[in-house]
Amino acid sequence: MSFVHLLRAEWTKFRTVPSWLIGAVVAILVLILIGLVSALGSHAVAAGPGGRPRQVLLGPDGRPVQDDFTFVRRTLTGDGTLTVRVPALTGGETGLEQWAKAGLMIKANTQPGSPYVAVMRTGAHGARMQYDFSGDIAGPASAQWLRLTRAGSHFTGYASSDGSTWTRIGTVTVAGIPATASAGMFVTSPPVEVYEQHFGSAEGNMYPTQATATFDDLTVAGALGADDWQGGPLADTPGQVTRTGDAFTVSGAGNIAPNHPDGNNAVERTLVGTFAGLTVLVVLGVLFVTSEYRRGMIRTTFAASPGRVRVLAAKAVVVGAVGFVAGAIGSAIALPLCRHVLIRNGNLVFAVTTGTEVRLILGTAAAIAVASVLALAIGTLLRRSVGAVAAVIVLIVLPYLLSTAAVVPADAARWLLRLTPAATFAVQQSVTAYHQVEGVYTPALGFYPLSPWSGFAVLCLYAAVAFGLAAVVVRRRDA
Amino acid sequence: MTAAIRAEWTKLRTVAAPLWLLLGAIVLTIALGAAAAASLHCTGAACGVDRTRFSLAGVQLGQAVVAVLGVLVVGNEYSSGMIHTTLMAIPRRSVALGAKALVLTGPVVVAGLVAVAGSLIAGDRLVSLAWTTGSTLRAAAGSVLYLALIALMSLGIATAVRDSGAAIGLVLGLVYLFPILASVVSNPHWHKKVEQIGPATAGLAVQATTDLKDLPIGPWPGLGVLALWATGALALGLATLRFRDA
């Protein structure tokens, strides 16, 4: 029998058992409904003004950003160079934050979220050049002098420890900064995030911090506007500017960086029903083979097509395809539907690119498909449905539960999500961990130790090994 | 009833699987509990967390094995057709199911005692527990009862569903999905509600020894919720047995 015939035979077996077809539909429904229940049960406690959903500030590339700082600026038209010395950068009562920033900036305008290029000294990470919120280039470890040059849309940052020998940090091209832009000195200091883990729950709390910097020896080559230096916080963060002759003392709070959402406002929470759908498909995957053993049908199957591994492969293709289609339909409906409900309930849901949405949906479908194949393989090995179903669910769902529902400490949780098939849920991570943004990046808040597709590969590895073992066993063992 | 219990006991002890499953439940419970306690990297009150609860975290894994046993006690009879013989010998459905429930509970309680004692001894060596307090005893006794109730709930669901594969999927779904669902329901009121009605989220509240006021539900009322689940499942199973042909 050709493989196509085998596939047709196995597909016929699947589709002609009504309870299995119902099972596949149930998998889709629970995937959507569990997400819907979680969305409906998530009325935001503190919604935005007028009960409308809170808005999140978006950067030039449409991704969420934070843009709070104190800015002392003038308009600069055309090309130019700013040079300044920052002899002191100090923290407030809680000390200097490692990502406190003070330096020079050229920004499209004073609207939060507009494009910018900046060169700065930081609390503990030396001189840096940063641009458009996510761009970050490391410079010399210690530098008091900073220089920022504009040539059209090309910007170059320099740092120096003495004001005479300069080190070039980098040159970047940033579109969207008009010929007449705001240029000047800025200070900001990010809030510290304190992470508290209790048994079964975890939360991160933000506490604001402040930094103060002195600037002197400011020189500007270029066409400055007629108004004198003026400054203050851009948003409603605290900050002050005092001027003594040519020296400025500037204090500020906030951050100029990508905004990183936690698990509560990341879009993947709409896919929480994945676990319910996956459980149903694991049962189907196991039953697809164990019921043949139970009823003796397997002997007919193997008599009709003696190539047992090919039979197993055909079964795997069928359950994998069913799992993929069910997962894709379920998550393609659940994601937009639950996001709509969440936003209507006043929740903040961070926007993601279409590519990320597609990855979340297809990744979920692929994870369910491979989990179904793993279930089929373990069902073949054990020939008993109960043990096989329990084994697969314990392998996939329990590690996820232990690590993301904050049962075990973050370190142990990261190892669980590297070593067990639960690593595959990294395909659902939409949030990004930025090295230049201090934050709590734990599994309980949605940050996986592995990248999406390498996490998925861990599950594939388990499925491949189980399938290989099943293939060996099914050839050696009498049916 | 005595005869029914003896019959069920003979069925249980003369096959190898239940013994292996109970041993597996003990080993896995202690192993995961010890691993969870070891992951704390601290001992004594300095940890600032509920060390007893960490030491008993293995129940999360042990319950899956106990659920398998609970499902198999009746599921195997349906798949082998043995259920016809059983019901012919004991025509009263309530007696048949009651005998199964009693025979299942005994060994699970014994295995639970060993598993919980082993977990606490391992936990004490790793993070030094406060043995003498009543709350530790409550957590220990409650964990044993928890395992027994999970087994009974599994028995009830398997009797109602009849297909053992679907039954174990349903049991583990109920046990594991509520905590995951609770972790994404952000409204505090509904978050608490989800934790109060889930069999595992409510039932495992009995393991808490510190910060009892932060629990979604009190330790014993939480175990009561699981008892309701088990009772409901058994009632459903009994109804299925009575009103449907085997």
Is the confidence at residue A299, as pLDDT, over 60? yes
Q: Is the Cβ–Cβ distance between B170 and B154 less than 8 Å?
A: no
DSSP letter for B205, please: G
Last residue of a domain, one of A190, A225, A258: A258
Q: How many CB pairs (< 8 A) connect A and B?
A: 142
Q: Is the Cβ–Cβ distance between A286 and A385 less than 8 Å?
A: yes
pLDDT (mean) for A180-189: 94
Q: Would you call B172 an interface residue with chain A, using a CB distance cutoff of 8 Å?
A: yes
Q: Do A199 and B68 touch (CB under 8 A)?
A: no
- Cα A153 to Cα A47: distance, rounded to the nearest angstrom: 39
What are the structure tokens assigned to B81, written together? 């057709």
Q: Is there a domain that residue A56 lies in?
A: no
Q: Is the Cβ–Cβ distance between B36 and A412 less than 8 Å?
A: yes
What are the structure tokens assigned to A10, written together? 């196995």
Q: What's the gap in Å between the CA of B146 and the closest CA on chain A?
A: 18
Q: Hey, which residues does A150 pair with through a beta bridge?
A: A80, A155
Residues A18 and A89 in one domain: no
What residues in A contact B67, CB-CB < 8 Å?
390
Query: Is the model more confident about A305 or about A439?
Result: A305
Q: Is there a domain that residue A54 lies in?
A: no
Q: Would you call A386 an interface residue with chain B, using a CB distance cutoff of 8 Å?
A: yes
Is the confidence at residue A320, as pLDDT, over 90? yes
| B contact test, residue of A54, A197, A389, A414 with most B CBs within 10 A | A389
Here the CATH number for the domain that contains residue A118 is 2.60.120
Q: Is there a domain that residue A400 lies in?
A: yes
What residues in B contact A198, CB-CB < 8 Å?
49, 211, 214
- Cα A193 to Cα A209: distance, rounded to the nearest angstrom: 10
- Cα B90 to Cα A160: distance, rounded to the nearest angstrom: 92
CA-based nearest residue to A114, from A178, A209, A45, A43: A178
Helix (H, G, I), strand (E, B) or coil at A43: coil
Highest mean pLDDT among A242-256, A354-368, B173-187: A354-368
What percent of chain A lies above the pLDDT cut of 70? 94
Q: Is there a domain that residue A55 lies in?
A: no
| φ/ψ (deg, to 5) at B50 | -80, 90
- Residue A217, burial from CB neighbour count under 10 angstroms (0-12, 13-18, 19+): middle
Q: Would you call B42 an interface residue with chain A, using a CB distance cutoff of 8 Å?
A: no
Residues A343 and A440 in one domain: yes
Residues A253 and A267 in one domain: no
- Cα B224 to Cα B194: distance, rounded to the nearest angstrom: 15
Residues A248 and A286 in one domain: no
Residues 6+ apart with CB under 8 A from A8: none
What residues in A contact B208, CB-CB < 8 Å?
199
Q: What residue numbers bound the domain in which A315 lies?
A: 3-42+263-476
Q: Do B184 and A264 touch (CB under 8 A)?
A: yes
Last residue of a domain, one of A230, A258, A286: A258
Q: Do B186 and A44 touch (CB under 8 A)?
A: yes
Residues A225 and A168 in one domain: yes
Q: Is there a domain that residue A59 lies in?
A: no
- Residue A180, burial from CB neighbour count under 10 angstroms (0-12, 13-18, 19+): middle
pLDDT (mean) for A464-471: 96
Residues A340 and A384 in one domain: yes
Side-chain-facing half-sphere of A199: CA atoms under 13 Å = 27
- Cα B51 to Cα B34: distance, rounded to the nearest angstrom: 11
Q: Do A283 and B183 touch (CB under 8 A)?
A: no
Task: Give the pLDDT confidence score for residue A263 in this predicted structure.
Answer: 61
Task: Give the angle A272-A29-A14 at the CA atoms, nearest 5°.
Answer: 115
Q: Which of residues 77-96 of B touch A (CB under 8 A)?
A: 79
Cα dihedral A126, A131, A137, A138, rounded to 10, equals 0
CA-based nearest residue to A107, from A75, A81, A85: A75
Secondary structure E strands in A305-421: none
Residues A178 and A204 in one domain: yes
Residues A90 and A201 in one domain: yes
pLDDT tens per residue, range A143-163: 899 999 999 999 999 999 998
Domain count, chain A: 2
Nearest to B68 among A201, A263, A386 (CB): A386
Residues A185 and A92 in one domain: yes
ipTM over 0.90: yes
- Cα A20 to Cα A41: distance, rounded to the nearest angstrom: 31
Residue A261: which pLDDT band, with cuts at 50, 70 and 90? Answer: low
Task: Give the angle A50-A56-A59 at the CA atoms, nearest 5°.
Answer: 145
What residues in A contact B164, CB-CB < 8 Å?
385-386
Measured CA to CA in angstroms, residue A110 lies from A79, A252, A284, A479, B95 at distances of 19, 15, 58, 75, 79
Average model confidence (pLDDT) across chain A? 89
Residues 6+ apart with CB under 8 A from A111: none
Residues A273 and A348 in one domain: yes
Nearest to A386 among B60, B71, B181 (CB): B71
> Among positive and negative, which fits the CA dihedral A289, A295, A296, A302?
negative
Task: Give the pLDDT confidence score for residue B119 in this predicted structure.
Answer: 95
Q: Do A389 and B169 touch (CB under 8 A)?
A: yes
- Cα A290 to Cα A306: distance, rounded to the nearest angstrom: 18
Nearest to B79 among A264, A294, A407 (CB): A294
Q: Would you call A111 an interface residue with chain B, using a CB distance cutoff of 8 Å?
A: no
Task: Give the angle A16-A19-A23 at the CA atoms, nearest 5°.
Answer: 115
pTM of the model: 0.87
Task: Give the pLDDT confidence score for residue A198 in this predicted structure.
Answer: 62
Residues A278 and A228 in one domain: no
Is the confidence at residue A439, as pLDDT, over 90? no
Q: Is there a domain that residue A58 lies in?
A: no
Task: Give the pLDDT confidence score for residue A47 in this predicted structure.
Answer: 47
| B contact test, residue of A386, A393, A403, A429 with most B CBs within 10 A | A386
Q: Is there a domain that residue A293 lies in?
A: yes
What residues in A contact B64, CB-CB < 8 Å?
390, 393-394, 398
Is the confidence at residue A33, as pLDDT, over 80? yes
What residues in A contact B182, CB-CB < 8 Å?
405
H/E element, B210: none
> Among positive and negative, which fits the CA dihedral A468, A471, A475, A479?
positive
Nearest to B165 among A43, A290, A347 (CB): A290
Task: Give the pLDDT confidence score for residue A473 in this predicted structure.
Answer: 94
Residues A222 and A172 in one domain: yes
Q: Do A42 and B190 touch (CB under 8 A)?
A: yes
Residues 6+ apart with CB under 8 A from A31: A271, A273, A274, A276, A277, A326, A327, A330, A331, A334
**Ordered DSSP codes for A70-126:** EEEEEEEEEEEEEEEEEEEEEEBTTB--TT-EEEEEEES-SSTT--EEEEEEESSS-
> Picking from A67-71, A182-186, A342-346, B52-56, which range would have the lowest pLDDT averaged per residue?
A342-346
Q: Would you call B183 an interface residue with chain A, using a CB distance cutoff of 8 Å?
A: yes
Residue A428: which pLDDT band, with cuts at 50, 70 and 90? Answer: very high
**Ordered DSSP codes for A169-201:** EEEEE-TT--SEEEEEEEEE-PPEEEEEEETTE
Highest mean pLDDT among A42-46, A322-326, A409-413, B187-191: A322-326
Residues 6+ apart with CB under 8 A from B43: B126, B127, B128
| φ/ψ (deg, to 5) at A182 | -90, 135
Last residue of a domain, one of A234, A258, A282: A258
Task: Give the angle B147-B150-B155 at the CA atoms, nearest 5°.
Answer: 130
pLDDT tens per residue, range A213-230: 999 989 999 888 888 898
Q: Is there a domain that residue A52 lies in?
A: no
Nearest to B180 among A45, A290, A401 (CB): A401
Nearest to B68 among A45, A387, A400 (CB): A387
Helix (H, G, I), strand (E, B) or coil at B143: helix
Is the confidence at residue A80, as pLDDT, over 80? yes
